[in-house]
Amino acid sequence: MNITVLAFGILSDLLENDSIQLTLEKQMSVSDFKQYLIKNFSKLNGYSNFSIAINEAYASDDILLNENDVVALIPPVSGG
């Protein structure tokens, strides 16, 4: 299953990347995917304080990722 991962704020600094193409071996929920990232991307250095948006909308933990989703990693926002 192919997805595009977008990283913002501190997460793009940690990952040294704004956008990553990923192939997942199985379908995952949002919360599974967060665990997967933290386990597989050592550059995250255990940083887990972020939300997930799928296709430009916040996604709760139980939502499932789908083929071709654009999955954004959203650290705490600080606009305004």
Partner 1 sequence: MSDNISIKVTSCPLKLEDCYAFVEDPSCGGISVFVGTVRNQTKGKDVKRLDFSAYEPMAIKEMKKIAEESLAKFEISKIAIHHAIGKLSIKDIPVIIAVSSAHRKDAFRACEYAIDTLKETVPIWKKEHFESGEVWVNSHP
Report the C-alpha gap between 25 and 23 in whole angstroms: 7
Residue 42 as a binder of partner 1 (CB under 8 A): the answer is no
Report the C-alpha gap between 4 and 55 in whole angstroms: 10
Residue 16 as a binder of partner 1 (CB under 8 A): the answer is no
Among 16, 21, 67, 77, which residue interacts with partner 1 (rule: CB under 8 A)?
77
66 near 35, Cβ under 8 Å?
Answer: no
Residue 45 as a binder of partner 1 (CB under 8 A): the answer is yes
Token pair of 65, please?
């990722």
Token pair of 48, please?
């887990």
**Residues 22-41 within binding reach of partner 1 (CB under 8 A):** none
Residues at the contact surface with partner 1, assessed by CB under 8 A: 6, 8-10, 13, 45-47, 49, 53, 56-58, 72, 74-80
